[in-house]
Structure 1
């Protein structure tokens, strides 16, 4: 039987980077498995491996978006990357599943499966199904397809479906406690990330600090009356157990959020605001925990920059099963 760690097990783990990585499973999704191109058979034979990999990944994303409940997976500049929010969602969800030992593998090592955390329009869970790759010097797994929980191959090979990724150790971590003191890492926020502030504040750090303090005070007053205003998020490189929070910052006073403050719990009595994110970055991180239900954080706020897993030839090597 596959052991599924409890939230307490996960919380006790430590790592200098993003947390423990299961032996045998690559933390990068496209290193974990080969995603084949299943497009037109008359595709030019001279296509470079990296380009073929791009086509295969775009095809993979489109297939999942079509199978899942309708959701906005693009941003205001969809030509940069296909379905960029879904792209980031899949990659980071896989990392979390590896950290939690939730990649299910059959006893004979022939098949693997993972829970995407998404549902079909009829509320069936969606899984990634993989078969052992027969080729050496390639990814260990070969992507078979996205399947619903009623899929015959999934039922035939797995007695129990793989579990979803979890990002918190208790339900209380999903609600911001306004009673705790909030301390800000001003040096990092205003020193390293001042370029994320509105243009008129970038070269005026004193003005930026005043706007930051004012925005936080205003948000905290509102949070006491509406706890949903602060949204949980997860980002693997922060290396902290459980979720963090995203707090809207209206720096210009026009009634809309300009940035999101990332807040993490420190002990049982305080929070630390350690960085600020643009709204596009914030939405990508928040979507891992749950689809944000907020007026201030939407998927089309701004273009989403490429994350640290870029397309490359190593990930996109054209190996057939």
Structure 2
């Protein structure tokens, strides 16, 4: 019976260690006799010690003073991490974030300055920082997919990396603590932090530096970030880009190519209108373009000319193509600038997808949509795409 208990405990330790470290070959099971002997003689030591933990107060019982956040008596010698078995796909299901507007405002003030507002938000003060809000939700989702959400072994603290930095280029982390019992979400938002400041002063009492989560990465192959002009111009989906997404074309084009139908709806196009709602308003104009070959050809001519110009630009300067992350297929795509009205002004972006034989122009984005998706990968540093 004693030998059986030892074997059971041994297997429990191995299973725990394998879950924590992700090791598939932690023990050479071909040499079971030697391993069991070492285990029985207490030679094997497992640093995570899953069966005996020191009792301490839960970290979600936080004082107002950040310096009192951690229990002073906690040891500094052996910080540990564990894994969360199941994490909901939505941040709102995983953690109680409180007021998201306050959370995003705090992050915006802490991060390296950049413009996080869409152009249409200048007159909509209650809907600020939509680019940052989209970025933050995707940062959580990417951290989930890449297993970059960590919890201390006592399951009182959760951390993930926002991918943003402060003015000293120190990574900004999200700090979550245990929620109240019987709450909908197991965790709740507490604060943001950087190492060495505020909460970050003592975070290493609970996490090894090597255990801190990495910034979200949206690509595996760096070659996906560059347009290979040797594959030629992209082949566009004309119907989707011209007919389905005609509402994303610049208004000045409609004034020239389809003035009668444009006059009927132009007063209904308000700043900040949702993409779906705007698309519905364009249904009649869409039908005219679809049924009138002459009108369709005029739009197509503009479209082809803008793609030709974009390809010339990317051939001359590879930085013209801007990488973006598309959450629909969870892949990296490239954005090419389109000058649909005049050659001296970019007014839309073509989303291109790399294939084995070339590139396909999948869809058309407004510049706001293009920037918001490109910002997930990194802050765009190009002349044509800016907020």
User: TM-score range with shorter-chain normalisation?
Assistant: 0.7 to 0.9
Confirm or deny: 8 A CA contact 1:149 1:161 kept in the other structure.
Answer: no
**1:156 is aligned to 2:218:** no
Q: Residue 282 of structure 1: CA displacement? A: 0.5
Q: Residue 167 of structure 1: CA displacement? A: 1.1
| Matches of 2:344 and 2:94, distance apart in 1 | 44
1:133 paired residue number: 179
Structure 1 unmatched ranges of 5 or more: 5-21, 37-55, 300-321
2:220 paired residue number: 169
Confirm or deny: 8 A CA contact 1:194 1:205 kept in the other structure.
Answer: no
SS in 2 for 1:224: helix
Q: List 4+ stretches of structure 1 deviating above 4 A.
A: 1-4
Matches within 5 A, 1:32-51: 32-36=94-98
The one of 193, 200, 213 aligned to 1:147:
193
1:16 paired residue number: none
**1:69 is aligned to 2:149:** no
Q: Residue 3 of structure 1: CA displacement? A: 5.4
1:297 paired residue number: 385
1:263 paired residue number: 352
1:40 paired residue number: none
**1:218 is aligned to 2:304:** no
Does the C-alpha gap of structure 1 residues 2 and 236 become closer, same or farther in structure 2, counting only changes over 3 Å? farther
Does the C-alpha gap of structure 1 residues 240 and 84 become closer, same or farther in structure 2, counting only changes over 3 Å? closer
**1:124 is aligned to 2:188:** no
1:288 paired residue number: 376
Deviations 1:173-204 (A, max 9, x none): 11111111422112211221111112315644
Using CA pairs below 8 Å that are at least 6 residues apart, which structure has the higher relative contact order? 1
Q: Residue 219 of structure 1: CA displacement? A: 1.0
1:15 paired residue number: none
The one of 127, 137, 142 aligned to 1:91:
137
> What is the alpha-carbon root mean square deviation over aligned residues?
2.0
Q: Residue 154 of structure 1: CA displacement? A: 2.8
Aligned residues: 260
| Matches of 2:194 and 2:216, distance apart in 1 | 17
| Matches of 1:99 and 1:232, distance apart in 2 | 20
Matches within 5 A, 1:21-60: 24-36=86-98, 56-60=99-103
**1:189 is aligned to 2:238:** no
| Matches of 1:23 and 1:193, distance apart in 2 | 41
Confirm or deny: 8 A CA contact 1:104 1:112 kept in the other structure.
Answer: yes
Structure 2 unmatched ranges of 5 or more: 1-19, 24-83, 258-284, 290-294
| Matches of 1:212 and 1:143, distance apart in 2 | 47
1:108 paired residue number: 154
Confirm or deny: 8 A CA contact 1:263 1:273 kept in the other structure.
Answer: yes
Give 1 or 2: higher helix fraction.
2
Confirm or deny: 8 A CA contact 1:129 1:154 kept in the other structure.
Answer: no
Deviations 1:49-73 (A, max 9, x none): xxxxxxx211111111111111111
SS in 1 for 2:229: coil
Query: Which structure has the bigger radius of gyration?
Result: 2
SS in 2 for 1:93: helix
| Matches of 2:112 and 2:201, distance apart in 1 | 21
Matches within 5 A, 1:223-234: 223-234=314-325
Q: Please, what TM-score do these two structures have when normalized by structure 2?
A: 0.64
Q: Please, what TM-score do these two structures have when normalized by structure 1?
A: 0.76
